Chain A
Amino acid sequence: MVKKEEENMAIIVEGRGMALVILLLSYILFYVFMYLGRKGREIPVRTLPPMAAIPEGIGRAAEMGRPVMFTPGIAGDLNDPTQGPQVLAAISILGYIARECAKTGVKLDVFMPIPTALPLTEETLRTAYMAEGKPEEFSPDMIHFIAGQSPYLTAVLGYFQRERPATNFLIGGFYYESVVMGEGGNTIGAFQIGGTANTHQMPFLVATCDYVLLAEELYAAGASISKDPDILGCLRGEDVMKLILIALMIIGFLLGFARSPALINVLRW
């Protein structure tokens, strides 16, 4: 009788308690930091070497008197839940690049294969040039819109040979064009900064670029420029969760030497 009552008391499915705890804890943390962010508390993003290298790359172009190229890859339609955020982050970074270019007077060429992202890109560039007090230097011709993967690739490779850009930014959601463009840029000796959250393209960007933003770093870099309190708040929340996990792993790692299953049993709850 008592046993039956106990069974009725259980409302959480066995083995899923810990998952629920993680879920709720994450949500609380996300919410708290989003709230604080909206209240005006600043959440810093750590120094990311690729971001710090952007002015260097643009300075290099200014010295050499050559243009700078930016492209977000073909994978991301803005409506796609996995690729879209990458492109949005990339466009935020483009805003920063554009301001630096406007400051130094370097020519910027944007190759944009995603039709849905076109209006936003134009708006971002216009705002950036306006903010630097050089609205007359912005022209929609800076954005080269090419649909389809192979025409896009052909156009970019042709551009590399013709204009020999000093610095390339390959930041966004990529498919295999990352290999081809990374190689093309390397062959003309360009300084390259890459970034993507698509694991399948990361190795190619690492092998061909001087600096790379990996996975979440891309979103963090984007948010550090757009100052979006929602994204920054969530990032801080994620970080706290990661630190908790790290602490658990350190404890568990040490307990492992004593062969104590205490923590493992807790996690299996």
Chain B
Amino acid sequence: MPYPTDPAGIAGLWISWLLMLMIYSYPLYKENPVYRFAEHTYIGLMLAIMLITTTITTTIRMVGPPLMQGKVWYVIPVILGFMMFFLLTPRYRWLSRYPIAILVGAGFGLGMRGVLIPNITKQVISTITPPAVGAGAVDWWNYIYIAIGTICAVMYFVLTWEHRGAMGYATRLGRWIIMIGLGAYFGNTVLFRMAMLSGRAQFFLQVLRIAPM
């Protein structure tokens, strides 16, 4: 985005910059009214934008054309959708369970049928697929590591039997394997958070025209 030249753009840029500093006054200084002000500004904006994009415009776009074509039954999901708001009234709260039942049924039905192959069978297949012909010692080591690692890690989550004897050793190894996984996850989390923060540091400088926009 080039540095804005119109007054509205310049005002927007500087207001954004100020709002950023208001938020960072919380970690960099302490909790204060200025931070609260910026936080509430965000929530207000977010709610309005969310309502406009989702509930209002998308519903009209999704339901309008079929209704025009004479598919009258499209009124039913709209009514069901608004029945969700009965959650807010203690007396008729139970009415909201009908739309929830559809959402939960579709959600679990699709979720359960969906996880079977990618999460279970594909993972088992990938674990037990040996390296290609002509693979070196490193590939075989990785094959053994992943297979034994997965077996021990899954065994760690066997929760209704005591881990005694050989199983005890296996599950201890399993926990260490899980920790290595979480360690890599942690390393990636640092990358994510720092990338986000660097975006803000860059913006800080861009507004002051120290860094190119």
Q: What is A's interface to B at a CB cutoff of 8 Å?
A: 15-16, 18-19, 22-23, 43-47, 81, 150-151, 154, 199-200, 202-204, 206-207, 214-217, 220, 232, 235-236, 239, 242-243, 245-246, 248-250, 252-253, 255-257, 259, 263-264, 267-268
**Other than the known A253-B128, A264-B128, what 14 A-B pairs have Cβ atoms closer than 8 Å?**
A46-B158, A46-B162, A46-B163, A202-B185, A203-B186, A243-B158, A246-B155, A249-B128, A252-B127, A253-B151, A255-B128, A257-B130, A264-B125, A268-B125
**Most chain A CB atoms below 10 A, which of B104, B112, B125, B183:** B125
B117 on the A face (CB < 8 A): yes
Instruction: From A217, A249, A255, give the contact of B124 (CB < 8 A).
Output: A249
Provide the residues of chain B in CB contact with A47, threshold 8 Å. Answer: 162
Q: A150-B31, A264-B129, A267-B121 are in contact. Are A232 and B160 (CB under 8 A)?
A: yes
Provide the residues of chain B in CB contact with A248, threshold 8 Å. Answer: 124, 128
Query: Least Cβ distance of A176 to chain B in Å?
Result: 9
Are A242 and B155 in contact (CB-based, < 8 A)? yes
Provide the residues of chain B in CB contact with A200, threshold 8 Å. Answer: 185, 189
Are B160 and A239 in contact (CB-based, < 8 A)? yes
Provide the residues of chain B in CB contact with A249, threshold 8 Å. Answer: 124, 127-128, 147, 150-151, 154
Q: In the complex, what distance in Å separates the CA atom of A47 from the CA atom of B44?
A: 47
Q: A45-B159, A252-B127, A268-B125 are in contact. Are A242 and B31 (CB under 8 A)?
A: no
Are B160 and A46 in contact (CB-based, < 8 A)? yes
B78 on the A face (CB < 8 A): no
Provide the residues of chain B in CB contact with A216, threshold 8 Å. Answer: 157, 159
Query: Least Cβ distance of A149 to chain B in Å?
Result: 9
Q: Across the two chains, which residue of chain A brings its CB closest to B23?
A: A150
- 7 A-B pairs within 8 Å (CB atoms) are namely A44-B162, A203-B186, A239-B158, A243-B158, A246-B155, A253-B127, A267-B125
Instruction: From B31, B117, B161, B189, give the contact of A19 (CB < 8 A).
Output: B117
Q: In the complex, what distance in Å separates the CA atom of A248 from the CA atom of B158?
A: 15
Q: In the complex, what distance in Å separates the CA atom of A239 from the CA atom of B44?
A: 46
* In the complex, per-residue mask of B147-175: 1 if CB is within 8 Å of any chain A CB, else 0: 11011001101111111000000000000
Q: In the complex, what distance in Å separates the CA atom of A256 from the CA atom of B127?
A: 10
Q: Across the two chains, which residue of chain B brings its CB closest to A217?
A: B159
Are B157 and A215 in contact (CB-based, < 8 A)? yes
Q: In the complex, what distance in Å separates the CA atom of A123 from the CA atom of B125?
A: 47
Are A245 and B154 in contact (CB-based, < 8 A)? yes
Provide the residues of chain A in CB contact with B116, threshold 8 Å. Answer: 19, 22-23
Are B128 and A45 in contact (CB-based, < 8 A)? no
Query: Least Cβ distance of B123 to chain A in Å?
Result: 9
Query: Least Cβ distance of A89 to chain B in Å?
Result: 12
Q: Across the two chains, which residue of chain B brings its CB closest to A15?
A: B117
Q: Across the two chains, which residue of chain A brings its CB closest to B182?
A: A203
* In the complex, per-residue mask of B109-123: 1 if CB is within 8 Å of any chain A CB, else 0: 000110011001100
B179 on the A face (CB < 8 A): yes
Are B130 and A256 in contact (CB-based, < 8 A)? yes
B143 on the A face (CB < 8 A): yes
Q: In the complex, what distance in Å separates the CA atom of A236 from the CA atom of B129?
A: 29
Provide the residues of chain A in CB contact with B143, threshold 8 Å. Answer: 256
Query: Least Cβ distance of A224 to chain B in Å?
Result: 9
Query: Least Cβ distance of B193 to chain A in Å?
Result: 9
Provide the residues of chain B in CB contact with A44, threshold 8 Å. Answer: 160-162
Query: Least Cβ distance of B31 to chain A in Å?
Result: 5
Provide the residues of chain B in CB contact with A151, threshold 8 Å. Answer: 31
Q: Across the two chains, which residue of chain B brings its CB closest to A253?
A: B147
Q: Across the two chains, which residue of chain A brings its CB closest to B111?
A: A81
